[in-house]
């Protein structure tokens, strides 16, 4: 009597594991295929799932990309919280280390997908909503450091929580305005120049708010940073065309 093939067992995974796998696959496709070119069918084929499975987790491609960006922000602040928890020294020394950790994390990602998505004109409201969430997460990292610096004398501030509010305005609102202004640049080289000069102005303002010597903070302008910034300009420019 001929044997019949055993039915294939359906592989089931924890929903959170499956969701993370789809996010990982989509992020990799964004890197290799480009933000606009990546589509739902490519994601499902690469992940080995049906389209119905995709739409169980994400309402659309844009909903998927929103979660990719939000996951990046969550991971960044998890990284900064972990870095801050192990720091010693004055408040000024700890803040310098935290800013270096943030810059290093972003550069290590070498990813333009996040900003490409956030700075699409139709995502203005989303950007502001995510920034509001991230601002509060940044406050959790920053506020104890500025309070500590006010106590140890490394920050010359009379009201630490007020100084924290202003620094957060620089990190988010001023930086957001810098991005918008830089995107008006006619080419990638001009974009890089505006970003570097604008970041320098933000750092200078932060130094003055905290009563620190000029030059305490500096942007790590490496060849890798310049190249990534140029790629970012080209990506955002393409999605807006």
Question: Looking at residues 131-147, what average pLDDT do you find?
Answer: 95
- Residue 36 covered by a domain: yes
- Residue 108 covered by a domain: yes
Using H for helix, E for strand and C for coil, what is the string for 23-34?
HHHHHHHHHHHC
Q: Degrees (nearest 5) of the Cα angle 227, 232, 238?
A: 130
39 band by pLDDT with thresholds 50, 70 and 90:
confident
Of 38, 58, 78, which closes a domain? Answer: 58
What domain range is 37 assigned to? 10-58
240 band by pLDDT with thresholds 50, 70 and 90:
very low
Q: Are residues 215 and 98 in the same domain?
A: yes
The mean of the pLDDT values for the chain is 86
Question: What is the total count of domains within the chain?
Answer: 2
User: What pLDDT sits at residue 96?
Assistant: 94
- Residue 160 covered by a domain: yes
Question: Looking at residues 159-186, what average pLDDT do you find?
Answer: 95
What separation in angstroms does the CA of 141 have from each of 79, 154, 211, 238?
11, 17, 20, 35
Token pair for residue 103? 């810059």
Give me the long-range contacts of 126-131 (CB less than 8 A, separation at least 24).
Answer: 126/66, 127/176, 130/69, 130/70, 130/73, 131/172, 131/176
The predicted-structure confidence for 49-84, as pLDDT tens digits, reads as follows: 999 999 999 999 888 888 888 888 888 889 899 889
Q: Is the pLDDT of residue 109 over 90?
A: no
Q: Are residues 151 and 175 in the same domain?
A: yes
Which CATH number belongs to the domain containing residue 134 in this structure?
Answer: 1.10.357
Question: Looking at residues 30-54, what average pLDDT do you find?
Answer: 85
Q: Are residues 51 and 72 in the same domain?
A: no
Radius of gyration of the CA atoms of the chain, in A: 22
């Amino acid at each position: 009597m001929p044997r019949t093939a055993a039915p294939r067992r359906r592989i089931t995974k924890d929903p959170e594991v499956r969701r993370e796998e789809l996010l990982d696959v989509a992020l990799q496709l964004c890197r290799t295929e480009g933000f606009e070119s990546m589509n739902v069918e490519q994601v499902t084929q690469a992940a080995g799932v049906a389209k119905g499975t995709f739409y169980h987790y994400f309402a659309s491609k844009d909903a998927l990309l929103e979660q990719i960006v939000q996951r990046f922000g969550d991971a960044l602040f998890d990284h900064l919280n972990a870095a801050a928890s192990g720091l010693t020294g004055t408040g000024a020394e700890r803040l310098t280390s935290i800013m270096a950790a943030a810059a290093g994390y972003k550069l290590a990602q070498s990813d333009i997908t996040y900003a490409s998505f956030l700075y699409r004109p139709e995502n203005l409201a989303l950007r502001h909503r995510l920034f509001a969430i991230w601002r509060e997460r940044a406050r959790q990292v920053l506020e104890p450091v500025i309070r500590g610096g006010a106590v140890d004398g490394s920050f010359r501030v009379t009201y630490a929580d007020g100084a924290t509010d202003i620094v957060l305005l620089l990190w988010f609102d001023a930086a957001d305005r810098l991005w918008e202004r830089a995107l008006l640049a006619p080419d990638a080289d001009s974009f890089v120049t505006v970003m570097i000069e604008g970041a320098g102005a933000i750092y200078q303002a932060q130094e003055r708010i905290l009563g620190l010597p000029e030059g305490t903070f500096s942007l790590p302008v490496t060849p890798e940073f310049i190249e990534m910034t140029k790629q970012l300009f080209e990506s955002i420019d393409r999605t807006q065309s």
